Amino acid sequence: MYDCQHDHYTDFSEPVFKDSAKLALAGSLIARALPGQPQADAALAELEAFAQRLGYRVERNGTTARVADISLVDALRLNACFGPHLLIDCDLRARRAVRQSHID
């Protein structure tokens, strides 16, 4: 593959970004108990414990738990584990603005 930015030919490879951690998606995950689910409180407690083991801060308020500053990968992991028992809502954003460039 030809790399026009560096004017040389290379094998196919994935791009490496110096600041990829700063571009990663992160945000908050909110889990709510589903109406009529008797095991919802236990599921919220399990989600809280699981998220804390992963190193996240969790705020619990009745039938709602909020996980702060969660990554996309861990949000997907929590959703896979607890999605059948809880209503999961997640708002993720890039840690810093990503510039878009275009050619006029």
What global pTM score does this model have? 0.68
Architecture of domain 25-92: 2-Layer Sandwich (3.30)
| Cα 32 to Cα 27, 65, 75, distances in angstroms | 17, 7, 14
Quote the pLDDT of residue 13. Answer: 43
Q: Comparing C-alpha atoms, which of 19, 32, 20 is closest to residue 85?
A: 32
Q: What is the mean pLDDT of residues 12-27?
A: 59
* d(C-alpha 84, C-alpha 34), whole Å: 9
Is the model more confident about 7 or about 35? 35
Give 29-76 pLDDT, tens digit per residue: 999 988 888 888 899 999 999 999 999 999 999 899 999 999 999 999
Quote the pLDDT of residue 99. Answer: 59
